[in-house]
Amino acid sequence: MTEIVLTIDDRQVKAEAGMTVLQAAQKAGIYIPTLCHHEQLEAYGGCRLCMVEVESRGWTSYVVSCLYPVAKDIIVRTRSEKVDRIRKVLVEELMAHAPDAPELVKLAEEYGADRNRFEKEASFCVLCGLCVRYCDEVKKKNAVSFFDNGSVRQIKFVPEVAKNECWDCQECFALCPTSYAQAAYLLTEALAFPGQRKIASRVAKKAAKPRMVIPIMAVPMTGQNSH
Amino acid sequence: MPKLQSAAELEKFRAELLAKRSSTKPCIAVCAGAACDGLDSAAVAAAFKAAAAPLGDKLEVRTTGCHGYCEKGPNVVVTPGDICYFEVSPADVPDVIEATLKGEVVERLVYKDPKTGVKAVHMQEVPFYKHQTRLLIGDNPKIDPMKIDDYLAVGGYAALVKALSTMSPEQVLDEVKKANLRGRGGGGFPAGMKWETTRNAPEKTKYVIVNGHEGESAAFMDRAMLTGNPHKILEGLIIGAYAIGAQKGFMYTRHDMPLLEKHVRNALAQAAEYGLLGKNILGSGFDFECELHFDVGIFVSGESSALMRSIEGNVPEPRPKYIRTSVSGIWDKPSNLNNVETWANVPQIISKGADWFTSIGSEKSKGTKLVSLSGHVVNSGIVEVPMGTPLRTLVHDIGGGVRDGKTLKAIHFGGAMGGSIPAELIDAPLDFDGMSKLGAPIGAGGLLLMDEDTDMVEVSRYLMDFLTKESCGKCVPCREGMKQMLQILTRITEGQGKAGDIERLQELIEVTGVASLCALGKTSGDPLKSMFRYFKPEYEARIAVGSDAK
Amino acid sequence: MSEETVNAIIEKYRGQPSSLIHALVEIQHANHWLPREVMHQVADALQVPFAQVMQIASFYKTFSLTPKGRHEVHVCTGMTCHLRGAAKLQAKVEELTGLKDGQTDADAKFTFATGACLGSCSIAPELIVDGKHYGRMTPDRIEDVLKQYE
């Protein structure tokens, strides 16, 4: 693999062609905050917290390091007045949803973000998509997904799939930075297939009996304002 | 119709076609463009067809695409002579037919200057048309979009013949580069450079795409071109594919225009029938096929990488531009996307050469530009002028000024991602870079006039509202940032402005502008930026209303 | 009848995941909405995850996840129409039908929607019912237009 040398925060960093700036930084022990990033998942570029300043051939630009490929002789700054301001505002926007999320609280302290700057939103999901992408790319079950678009985008469990898959898995709960995933699953279960868990364990004890199928009630999960 | 298998066969066919057509036989062209259609031009066309039927060969009636003078529809143009009749109704049909057969004019239907009463009969005398340079849209009244022969009769596909039989792909590419054709969809990026990047990408499979989405509010020229003269765009596309080395093309357009879909499908089928699409086009050894795709009604799917996701069958989420779509686009293959108007310019660049093309326009913006005039303008419609034309010409000479006797307050370009400039800047030239510097990038060319009663604060609230509904929702700065900006603007319009609101908006504009993933988020704050540049006192006064009340 | 048409559409696109959007558009046109069971069938036939079908169906406002009325009443809220009084048209339609944007009435007669630029800016502001354009509209003429529809 070709070796590429770039500068990150005034340090010479050696990286391999095909790496992203984030990967190169992590390899060199340089910290860049992330939220929607996960090693097992394709880089998403949704939260924008990993934005860095890149100077290349005389041009300065702001890019997300989780996706930006390393290149020869680029100069990367993981902190600057502008980068810090971007992170501060992004954290403030996210804290309108989840002011108590541990990762956000830590970032707020570091960047001087005001958790009360924006009016509190109804949903504490920050739409990082870790649960959705994990279920799609790793588990390949697609039990949870994005719905709607724009500012009313939301993450919901798909009852028909969740009832068969989620209780035995639950792996996305730990990924969620705000514990919304777990809450959303439990709400889905309560509304769409209540009692399933108890019945399932009873059935497991009586191996001879066929598994009971709970009919799904079509409970619309929307309740948000429609455009 | 057997396939035309060589350039010579096509030219022979064209010559035979022209020999059969008489240039003296009168033809009545009825516009079926969107606005005329909305004014029931279909009834006018039906009445003409019914009245002309018993006359057999003496008279031709043709339905065409948009002529451009939408304000005065239903539009009718009679040749020979290019006699323009306006606001024609079915009741006028007998008089028009009688006059046409006699070589006379129906006086009551011609253009009359609203101030002086002076009449103008022929197109080149009508002020709206006189000041234009109609290189692209000029053919519309001459063509029935459902008939490829009409396009051939006006010289269509001659550029393709020239490219395939006398030029190499590299030569075609060089000509387009020399012409400095810049993208007409809003980016203004040099098309030749994009073509070259796609051509040089290592993958063998390559795609070309026509972006006919036209989601920009108040821009309606692309739909008019694609519905009125689909072959012109197709010809440009095939030439481009030849230059780039692409084997397949996609026409991407909107789902909500049945006439557009009908015309494009028909054009693709006829082109294939004639051997202009498919294998070994005109015996050149070049294979190319084209598919029609449509969106499902969301603005962001006009963004090039989102559009490509949509063609793949995925949700139209834009991809970060570190991966250029000309290198990795649809299904990760190099994909060259250009706007309808950009493709439409290609045939004439090949036919008449880059030197001719660069003689039109300004120093860095060459050629003509289609502009859709709307808003509080007297003459709403689609016009075509050379780049560099002062806005004053568009607004007054062509547009006829502001309606209802009001004065002009602002000119807006670029829809929800553009900007407004005040009336004092009306002598600015129509130009990519100049208008960008003024804060009102021309975008796709939708020019909106705003009169003295326009509430500029409400306009920016409206534009932000539009964008929040059209955002895909993937990235935080766009999804959350625009929502917060909208809340602040709504508060201000409701008289609840707070001290510091402008600073709050400016910080949000900055962060959303830098951190957003795609152009929608990045330019979402641009209208506001132009508002603060030129109309700040209006905002300050509105905010003061709120703070005073406290 | 509708069910046959819908089944025919699904069969046409069987095994073609990249035609998902085409399939849904055709079903929406034929059936005027996308029932959940039908989306399951589409997911199975086209070999895409059900969640993806749902995501696309909820992303685009052209698709309706609830039954629509017999007639679609649309007020264009593009920039030109907005400047030329679309808000007043919208208010009048709301008053006459009792429907807000996106709603269908209890008799399933009208579905009301607003949306952006349909390209007929020169005859702004516009009311569109079942695809028929009523240009240069004024609030006082809306009632007569709507009366024509059963």
Query: Each residue of B379-415: pLDDT tens digit?
Result: 999 999 999 999 999 999 999 999 999 999 999 998 8
Residues in chain C closer than 8 A to A158 (CB atoms): 50-51, 54
Residue whose token pair is 């294998």: B279
Burial, A218: exposed, middle or buried (Cβ in 10 Å; 0-12, 13-18, 19+)? exposed
**Confidence at residue B496, expressed as pLDDT on a 0 to 100 scale:** 93
Q: Is residue A9 domain-resident?
A: yes
Say yes or no: A66 and A98 in one domain: no
The parent domain of residue A60 ranges over 1-79
Q: All domains of chain B, ordered by start, with CATH?
A: 23-142 (3.40.30.10), 156-358 (3.40.50.11540), 368-451 (3.10.20.600), 456-548 (1.20.1440.230)
Superfamily (CATH) of domain C71-147 = Glutaredoxin (3.40.30.10)
Number of domains in chain A: 3
If pLDDT is split at 50, 70 and 90, which confidence band does C144 have?
Answer: very high
Domains of chain C, residue spans: 2-59, 71-147
* C-alpha distances in Å from residue B77, one per residue of A57, B39, B221, B256, B399: 56, 16, 19, 28, 20
- Residues from chain C contacting residue B372 (CB–CB below 8 Å): 121
> Strand B119-120 vs strand B111-112: parallel, antiparallel, or unpaired?
antiparallel
Of C40, C55, C101, the CB nearest to A147: C55
Q: Is C65 on the interface with B (CB under 8 A)?
A: no
Query: Rounded distance, CA B264 to CA C112, Å?
Result: 30
A-B contacts at Cβ under 8 angstroms: 90
A210 part of a folded domain: no
Kindly give the pairing relationship between strand B408-413 and strand B419-422.
Answer: antiparallel
Kind and range of the H or E element at B410? strand B408-413
With contacts defined as CB-CB under 8 Å, which chain B residues touch C48?
Answer: 313
Residues A87 and A41 in one domain: no
User: Which chains have 3 or more CB–CB distances shorter than 8 Å to chain B?
Assistant: A, C
> Whole-model pTM?
0.89
Residues of B in contact with C115 (CB under 8 A): 297
* A144 interfacial to chain C (CB closer than 8 Å): yes
Q: Of A67, A91, A121, which one is at a domain's C-terminal end?
A: A121
Query: Closest partner residue to C52 among A142, A148, A218, by Cβ?
Result: A142
Query: Within chain B, which residues score under 70 in pLDDT?
Result: 297-302, 319-321, 547-550
Burial of B428 (0-12, 13-18, 19+ CB in 10 A): middle
Model pLDDT, residue A206: 58
**Domain contains A111:** yes
Got the DSSP string for C25-48? Answer: HHHHHHHSS--HHHHHHHHHHHT-
As given in the structure block, the two tokens for residue A19 are 């790496």
Within chain B, how many helices (H) and strands (E) appear?
23, 15
Does any CB of chain C come closer than 8 Å to the CB of residue A148? Answer: yes
The residue among C42, C58, C79, C137 with the most chain B CBs within 10 A of its CB, best to mutate, is C79
Query: Å from A164 to nearest chain C CA?
Result: 14
Q: Are residues A192 and A147 in the same domain?
A: yes
Of B256, B296, B374, the CB nearest to C80: B374
**Residue A155 placed within a domain:** yes
Residue B359 · residue B412 · CB < 8 Å: no
Whether residue A115 is found in the same domain as residue A174: no
Cβ-contact B342, B216 below 8 angstroms: no
Contact yes or no for C50 and A146 at CB 8 A: no
A225 — pLDDT class (breaks 50, 70, 90): very low
In this prediction, residue A202 has a pLDDT band, given cuts at 50, 70 and 90, of low
Question: What ipTM was assigned to the predicted interfaces of this complex?
Answer: 0.91
Determine whether the interchain pair B296/C133 forms a contact, defined as Cβ–Cβ distance below 8 Å: no
> Rounded distance, CA C150 to CA C143, Å?
13
A82 touches chain B (CB under 8 A): yes
The two tokens of residue B196 are 């070259």
How confident is the model over A65-78, as pLDDT tens digits? Answer: 999 999 999 999 99
Q: What is the reported pLDDT for A38?
A: 95
Checking DSSP bridges between strand B289-294 and strand B248-253, what pairing results, if any?
parallel
Cβ pair A147:C49 closer than 8 A? no
Quick: pLDDT tens for C53-112: 999 899 888 888 988 888 999 999 999 999 999 999 999 999 999 999 989 998 889 999
**Tokens coding B167:** 């030029």
Shared domain check, A20 and A56 = yes
Closest residue on chain B to A48 (Cα):
B515
How far is A180 from A173, CA to CA, in rounded Å? 8
Q: Identify whether residues A7 and A75 lie together within a single domain.
A: yes
In 3D space, the residue among B302, B511, C83, B406 whose CA is nearest the CA of residue A82 turns out to be: B511
